């Protein structure tokens, strides 16, 4: 792996495939997810603090989202954050209304707000990532996209990127196949399996701490952390072989 102070190159002869996370790597949907999580959690935490007579502590995107929610399936992220605040809620049922104080109800409220934001604001694509994908394909490498979100296909179609990837493994597949969420490596391993590539011959590109941890747990040949918001050291400490700003 050749590198300079500011950049790294992926030797085409050493790898057969590159697996990209969608949110925060290919598209800027991570920021949309974060905003939707904050709205839902702050509404809930405000009500909870009023009931308990305690001070309201808002959900912080820079810390809470990155540590407990980013990159994880919706229910896992919700439980993880609530646990960090010492809060346990009943699981509820799929038919719970949005905002019901159950895991199902709060997750449904977050998802409704996320989809509303996508419809109203659209989705930003990281052009540098798309350029890299075209370059990889020109050099004969396979590509896959993974996402914990069930909205992955919809997002890709909305920005006309679905055809860039040989394989997609998303939240719908995770539910169908029983794939555990990150930091477990299984979603990446499933993408490698569908690409017919051994993990050590594949690259993982991630922006989430849980995703970097998953890439290392799966023994992928190269795990690249994308630190668009200045989290390079955190990604390196979490297991990224290298971390870059773009």
Among residues 40, 181, 32, 59, the alpha carbon closest in space to that of 115 is found at 32
Catalytic residue among 23, 64, 113, 173: 23
CB atoms within 10 A of CB 153: 16
Peptide bond into 183 cis (omega under 30): yes
Q: Using N-to-C axis directions, what is the helix angle for 103-121 and 74-84, rounded to 10°?
A: 120
Catalytic site includes residue 157: no
Phi then psi dihedrals of residue 167, to 5 deg: -140, 145
CA 30: distance to chain centroid?
7
CA 173: distance to chain centroid?
15
The answer to whether the beta carbons of residues 30 and 156 sit under 8 Å apart is no
Catalytic site includes residue 21: yes
Strand 17-21 with 142-146, pairing: parallel
The answer to whether the beta carbons of residues 20 and 224 sit under 8 Å apart is no
Catalytic residue among 21, 70, 113, 170: 21
Residues carrying an active site annotation: 21, 23
């Amino acid at each position: 792996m050749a590198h300079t102070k500011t950049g790294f190159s992926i030797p085409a002869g050493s790898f057969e495939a590159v697996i990209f996370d969608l949110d925060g790597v290919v598209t800027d949907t991570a920021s949309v997810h974060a905003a939707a999580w904050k709205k839902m959690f702050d509404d809930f935490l405000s009500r909870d603090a009023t009931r308990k007579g305690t001070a309201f502590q808002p959900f912080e995107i820079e810390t809470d989202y990155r540590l407990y929610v980013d990159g994880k399936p919706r229910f896992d992220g919700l439980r993880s954050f609530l646990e960090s605040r010492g809060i346990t809620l009943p699981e509820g049922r799929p038919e719970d209304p949005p905002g019901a104080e159950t895991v199902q109800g709060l997750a449904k409220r977050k998802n409704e707000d996320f989809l509303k934001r996508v419809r109203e604001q659209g989705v930003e694509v990281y052009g540098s990532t798309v350029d890299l994908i075209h370059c990889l394909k020109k050099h004969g490498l396979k590509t896959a996209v993974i996402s914990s979100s069930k909205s992955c296909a919809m997002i890709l179609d909305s920005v006309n990127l679905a055809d860039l990837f040989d394989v997609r493994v998303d939240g719908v597949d995770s539910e169908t196949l029983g794939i555990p969420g990150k930091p477990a490596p299984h979603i990446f391993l499933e993408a490698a399996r569908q690409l017919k590539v051994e993990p050590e011959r594949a690259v993982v590109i991630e922006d989430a701490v849980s995703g970097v941890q998953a890439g290392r747990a799966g023994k992928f040949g190269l795990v690249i952390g994308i630190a668009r918001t200045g989290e390079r050291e955190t990604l390196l400490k979490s297991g990224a072989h290298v971390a870059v700003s773009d």
